[in-house]
Chain A
């Protein structure tokens, strides 16, 4: 094997996923192995039991190496959790170039200023996501060579709690695997499931996980906002368990078999059986009750996202909503999203070129991470000014961790 072997690791509340890819000629990626084991020791994007988390990651890495038939040399890690925050930071500068033509130096200067915001010492920048340049108030993709007086740019600066990030890295390091870089899950999954047209016309990508829900908002091809809400599929299960007074396992089963995100007229009066075997312990439950519990929870979740992005910005900026992640498999989830966001919604999977077994929404984050890893390789050859990634993803910051 000639290429470099890299792994994408996603440590979720539900399971640990590892995808192994081989990068050859620095521009092509083949996925050669994968593994998925149930997770432990992680809740809501935080490590709560190091030992358990480390064991499960080790198990997943072993399986992935066996399936790939190769040794994993380095890994890219997806992080999520409510400790991640973003700030929109604009900067402006006068164009200094001759005849008011923007030069590379102008661009570099304005970029540096927009990225130079200071954050609290315990916080750590994870991504610098650049939005469009504004040249005298109009959007331009690449300002170099254009004429104008004032050049502006806005960056979405994503930062996280350094301790929480370090905990995740430590879990992987404990298995003797070097972490090359960390990537925020919402960014990784969004760049995977949204098509280029959707990114250009504007869309909101929501990744419904088990413990957290991540979202990324694309506007004119760039990510202008990301976020993470500490609510996921587990909360829906918990609500059902409390509301219908059933144990967690039954609640999870009810959610998968009968649950839906909206209450329909025909749900009223209809009943479902808890187990369906009609033995002692089985009880009947109203379909409307089950769906009502789910509906209010999901509605609240979508409303939180809508309020964070700004209802007006969404209406003007997003053409549709893409739902991904395991939680999006809930029946009529898209209908509810349409109702809350006021734009069409669809269930999003990975693009066609991905192998069938990886097409499912649950692999979008891992694939996005590998995709990112590939870009990390190709980036080295382009000049800083021309480095504009189609997805709007990113500046590397791995050197912060290599120390």
Chain B
């Protein structure tokens, strides 16, 4: 296949589309094509003609032909943005009609940082749920890539339903001093690949308790929320403790969150066939407890013999941030007939108030919650002083 004629889909179109933006992402796509599961459509985007020629096995589109004449962006994210803007119609045409669009990009070095926000926005406009998997640059790359990536990430968050970020620095911190440099970069690619396969794989594997696309789409729907993604591969022996620890240490987990309360949780457990009933039940309970969401968890289980003696666990959690959270399905309340005749039935336990509710970011500002934050010398003065200074206000026990 040549790169130019491949913006149309084949008649047997898949429901999931994996989009790679930039060189790093194309590598991951190529690997997924070789090693991954399921019938997934691939689309690659880049400005560099030579880079695209390296991956002749999946369709790709060269952006910004008139602008860059087949060269790379040279580290200029603005160029990447312009290139994506110049071929908007081509991009949306390629992305329309999927049930899930997964975008992959390595931020910080030019094209991906500029083009990915635009492509994400276009994918969002087509109405399909979008998930962006991005890596942010290493600290040693300098301050500019970091600031470029930060800006791009902010824009991507606005466009995508879910953003999974891999801070490369975490991988750097975990690597040993004597590790080879190429190992470091490979391990970054490896994690991105694992994120993609952990996300897309379970949708296609034949499972006993399937996590299908509809479940996944449901989890993505809704108002303002925060997504948590975490995956790990642990040995079968002692998998419960190991998985709980590894899920916690996964580099994709949003940093700075000690404990997450998930309003919606998808746990996908894959095994090579050796997982016992006791271990499975223990593992699923431990994981739902970890995310404090016994009632709203969906547990998926699938078997893939290639895993051997290992267990793969993937967590996909969603925490609603909007204040008026309503449970999707109202809880069934047993009411005596005589009570039903009364005017209204009082809802029991509409929502469990947790200790941390008032400390959510948008609640802290109280009446000013909805107003723009106008920092005064870098301090948000609308936020109560006692909260900023960490002063405890005691209340009488009623």
Q: Which residues of A contact B (CB under 8 A)?
A: 43-44, 82, 229-231, 234-235, 237-239, 241-245, 248, 271, 283-286, 288-289, 292-293, 296-297, 299-300, 304
CB <8 Å contact, B386 and A243: yes
Report the stretch among B86-94, B175-183, B242-250, B360-368 that lies at the interface.
Answer: B360-368
Cβ of B6 within 8 Å of any chain A Cβ, yes or no, is: no
Q: Which of B27-35, B42-50, B207-215, B387-395 contacts A (4 or more CB under 8 A)?
A: B387-395
Residue ranges of B at the interface with A (Cβ–Cβ < 8 Å): 358, 363-368, 371, 374, 376, 381-382, 384-387, 389, 391, 393-396, 398
B396 contact from A237, A238, A285, Cβ within 8 A: A285
* Contact of B358 with A245 in the complex, beta carbons under 8 Å: yes
- Assuming the contacts A82-B374, A241-B366, A242-B358, asked whether A285 and B385 have C-beta atoms less than 8 A apart, the reply is no
Which chain B residue shows the least CB distance to A240?
Answer: B384
Asked if B381 contacts A239 (CB within 8 A), the reply is no
Are A239 and B394 touching (Cβ within 8 A)? no
Are A296's CB and B366's CB within 8 A? Answer: no
A82-B376, A248-B367, A293-B393 as given contacts; A235 in contact with B381, CB under 8 Å: yes
The answer to whether B384 touches A238 (Cβ under 8 A) is yes
Which residue of chain A is the closest to B388 with respect to CB atoms? A300
Q: Are B396 and A271 in contact (CB under 8 A)?
A: yes
Q: Are B396 and A239 in contact (CB under 8 A)?
A: no
**Which chain B residue has the least Cβ–Cβ distance from A298?**
B385
- In the assembled complex, the CB of A307 is this many whole angstroms from the nearest CB of chain B, namely 9
Give the docked Cα–Cα distance between A299 and B386 (Å).
11
**A231 to chain B: which residues have CB within 8 Å?**
381
Minimum Cβ distance to chain B for residue A274 (Å): 11
Indicate if the CB atoms of B382 and A238 lie closer than 8 Å: yes
Contacts of B395 in A (CB 8 A): 244-245, 285-286, 289
Given A284-B398, A289-B393, A296-B391: A43 in contact with B385 (beta carbons within 8 A): no
Q: List 12 A-B contacts (CB under 8 A).
A: A230-B374, A230-B381, A234-B367, A235-B381, A235-B384, A248-B367, A286-B395, A289-B394, A289-B395, A296-B386, A296-B391, A300-B385
Minimum CB–CB distance from A13 to chain B (whole Å) comes to: 12
Given B371, B387, B391, which contacts A242 in the complex, CB threshold below 8 Å? Answer: B387
B367 adjacent to A292 (CB under 8 Å): no
On whether the beta carbons of A297 and B393 are closer than 8 Å, the reply is no
Chain A residues, Cβ within 8 Å of B364? 242
- Cα distance, A304 to B293, chains bound together (Å): 44
Q: Is the CB of B367 within 8 A of A243?
A: no
Chain A nearest CB from B393 CB (Å) reads 5
Instruction: Given A230-B381, A284-B396, A289-B394, verify A239-B386 contact (CB < 8 Å).
Output: yes
Residues in B neighbouring A300, C-beta threshold 8 A: 385
A86 to chain B, nearest CB (A): 15
Closest B residue by C-beta to A296: B385
Most chain A CB inside 10 Å of its own CB: which residue of B367, B384, B391, B393:
B393
- Cβ B384 vs Cβ A243 within 8 A: yes
The residues of B that contact A283 with a CB separation of less than 8 Å are 396, 398
Contacts of A271 in B (CB 8 A): 396
Q: Which of B365, B381, B389, B396 contacts A296 (CB 8 A)?
A: B389
The answer to whether A229 and B376 have CB atoms under 8 Å apart is yes
Interface centre among B368, B381, B391, B396, by most chain A C-beta atoms within 10 angstroms, is B381
> Within the complex, which residue of A238, A245, A248, A286 is in contact with B394, where a contact is CB–CB below 8 Å?
A286
* Residues in A neighbouring B396, C-beta threshold 8 A: 271, 283-286
Complex Cα distance, B380 from A82, in Å, reads 13
- In the bound complex, residues from chain B placing their C-beta under 8 Å from that of A244 are 393, 395
- State in angstroms the CA–CA spacing of A127 and B186 once bound together: 63
B371 adjacent to A43 (CB under 8 Å)? yes
Question: A248-B367, A283-B396 provided; 13 other pairs, C-beta below 8 A?
Answer: A82-B374, A230-B374, A230-B376, A241-B367, A285-B396, A286-B394, A286-B395, A289-B394, A292-B386, A293-B384, A296-B391, A297-B384, A297-B386
Q: Which residue of A lies closest to B391 (CB)?
A: A296
Q: Are A292 and B393 in contact (CB under 8 A)?
A: yes
Task: Give Cα A304–Cα B385 distance, bound, in whole angstroms.
Answer: 12
Shortest distance from the beta carbon of B396 to any chain A beta carbon, whole Å: 5
Q: With a CB–CB cut-off of 8 A, which chain B residues contact A248?
A: 367
The 8 Å CB contact of A239, one of B363, B374, B385, is B385
**Which residue on B lies nearest to A308, using beta carbons?**
B377
Residues on B with beta carbons closer than 8 Å to the beta carbon of A292: 386, 391, 393
Q: Which residues of A contact B368 (CB under 8 A)?
A: 238
Q: Give chain A residues whose Cβ lies under 8 Å from the Cβ of B376.
A: 82, 229-230, 304
Give Cα distance in the complex from A327 to B395, angstroms.
25
* C-alpha gap A239/B395 in the complex (Å): 15
Q: Please, how many angstroms separate the alpha-carbon atoms of A230 and B366 in the complex?
A: 16
Out of B365, B381, B386, which one reaches A293, CB within 8 Å? B386
8 tightest A-B contacts by CB? A239-B384, A242-B366, A238-B366, A296-B385, A297-B385, A243-B393, A238-B367, A300-B385
How far is A24 from B250 in the complex, measured between Cα atoms in Å?
A: 79
CB distance from A254 to the nearest CB of B (A): 13
State A244–B371 Cα separation when bound (angstroms).
Answer: 21
Q: Closest Cβ of chain B: how far from A87's Cβ, in Å?
A: 17
Select from chain B the residue with minimum beta-carbon distance to A46.
Answer: B374
B371 / chain A contacts, CB cutoff of 8 Å: 43
Scoring A44, A235, A248, A292 by chain B CB atoms within 10 A of each residue's CB, the highest score goes to: A235
Bound-state Cα–Cα, A307 to B367, Å: 27
Contacts of B384 in A (CB 8 A): 235, 238-239, 242-243, 293, 297
Nearest CB of A to B296, in Å: 27
For A238, list chain B residues within 8 Å (CB).
Answer: 365-368, 382, 384
Task: Provide the residues of chain B in CB contact with A242, threshold 8 Å.
Answer: 358, 363-364, 366, 384, 387
Q: Which residues of A sit under 8 angstroms from B381, Cβ to Cβ?
A: 229-231, 235
| Alpha-carbon distance A295/B123, docked complex (angstroms) | 51
A230-B374 Cα distance, complex, nearest whole Å = 9
A293 — nearest CB in chain B belongs to which residue?
A: B386
Which residues on B sit within 8 Å (CB–CB) of A284?
A: 396, 398
Contacts of B393 in A (CB 8 A): 243-244, 289, 292-293
* A297–B385 alpha-carbon span in the complex (Å): 5
With A and B bound together, what is the CA distance between A234 and B366 in angstroms?
11
Give the residues in chain A near B366, CB-CB below 8 Å. Answer: 238-239, 241-242
Most buried by B among A231, A234, A238: A238
- Smallest CB–CB gap between B356 and chain A, Å? 14
Least distance between B388 CB and chain A CB atoms (Å)? 8
Which of A231, A234, A239, A297: most chain B Cβ within 10 A? A239
Shortest CB distance A22–B (Å): 40
> Using Cβ atoms and an 8 Å threshold, which residues of chain B touch A296?
385-386, 389, 391
A285 to B398, CA, bound (A): 10
Complex CA distance for A254 and B387, rounded to whole angstroms: 19
CB-defined contacts of A82 to chain B, threshold 8 Å = 374, 376
